[in-house]
A and B are shown apart, each in its own frame.
Chain A
Amino acid sequence: MPRFATLNQAWMVWDGPAPAPEGAVLEYTRELEKFLAEIERRAFRMAQIALRDPDDAMDVVQDAMLKLARSYASRPSAEWRPLFYRIMENGIRDLQRRRSVRKRFMTWLPGAKQDPDGEAQDPLDNVADAAPAIPDALMQGQAMEQLEVSLRALPARQREAFMLRNFEGLDVAETATAMGCSEGSVKTHYSRAVHSLREQLGEVW
């Protein structure tokens, strides 16, 4: 029977893979930190484009980081990127769903206005912001602003496919994993997104 210098070593033999050796934990937490540092700004901008609000975008990114770290940190690092974006896109979709429910609820409150096109307006939309929704420093000129507006006008799946493929540089298979759909669907969504964006931006650009 083997002998052990520390209780931790004995535990590792007794319990198999459950508690990873301290060195291994250090190794993959270091690797995870490097990975998150590499993608966090792009992820934030993509969430911000989808949600418009920087605080909401920050919440979604932070949540995705935590979920990845808690549940998938021990998975091979090659899987982290599609997994991270899958968690993030789910977070964005949840938030958008909550917003639309809230907007419908606001219709019933006194003071809610109706848009000319019949859409209910959130009374909070009429409150002046203390600061602009998107800081000027984030705007890289009019072209980026136009692109963001056009991206928001796309159907959600097309926007996801475009941002993951074009902005994040995921390949078709990774994008399919991140979006939870087939590679064929990714290609279709992406091609439609490029076509729509070109149509919308063609004259401006």
Chain B
Amino acid sequence: MNERSDDSFEARTKALFHDSVDGLDYALRSRLTQARNAAIEAAASSRRPWFARIGVWSPAAGVTAAAVLGAFLWLGSPLGQHAVTLADGQSNLEDLEIVASSDEGSGDAMDMLQDDIEFYDWAEKAANSEPAA
């Protein structure tokens, strides 16, 4: 089989394929456009700074915080059904750590809180400093 006939074969298959692409119906094109828009939205939202995405993780963090608070109240209450000994308190604290660390969002929130304190401290110094000449 010579090279020239290979070239014309490849050119023919390519042309046929592109004709079939041009022949895609409106409904399919529309679905592709919707898929593209969803992807673009995903790209834009994944690059927003954390304070623009706060709404995404705040419900999870809220639920975790409420669960931790509830556990504290229940375990620390003198009206609880069992007396809390020192050993119990130790294991309760371990339980709390497990509860707190079981939710990814809460871990992020703790880290973020730590970051924020440093950031705001730094930003305040920046804001109060004299502008460069």
Contact = CB atoms under 8 A, between A and B. Distances in A.
A24 to B, nearest CB: 9
Nearest to A167: B17
Contacts of B44: 25, 29
B129 A3 contact: yes
Contacts of B43: 28-29, 32, 69-70, 73
Interface of A: 1-4, 7-8, 10-11, 14-15, 18-20, 25, 28-29, 32-33, 36-37, 40-42, 44-45, 54, 58, 61-62, 65-66, 68-70, 73-74, 135, 137-141, 143-144, 147, 166-167, 194-195, 197-198, 205
B19 A25 contact: no
B10 to A, nearest CB: 6
20 contacts: A2-B132, A3-B126, A14-B122, A14-B123, A18-B49, A20-B47, A37-B36, A40-B36, A42-B21, A45-B21, A65-B39, A70-B46, A73-B46, A74-B47, A140-B16, A140-B19, A143-B16, A167-B13, A194-B10, A198-B9
Given A14-B122, A62-B38, A65-B35, A166 B10 contact: yes
A138 B23 CA distance: 6
B24 A62 contact: no
A195 B3 CA distance: 12
Interface string B7-42: 001101110111111011100110111011011101
Given A2-B132, A29-B40, A138-B25, A194 B49 contact: no
Contacts of B132: 2
A10 to B, nearest CB: 5
Contacts, number: 138
A interface: dominant SS: helix
B127 interface: yes
A4 B40 CA distance: 30
A166 to B, nearest CB: 5
Given A70-B43, A138-B24, A1 B49 contact: no
Nearest to A32: B43
Contact of B123 (A4, A73, A139, A167): A4
A177 to B, nearest CB: 20
Contacts of B131: 3
Nearest to A35: B36
B9 A1 contact: no
A41 B19 CA distance: 11
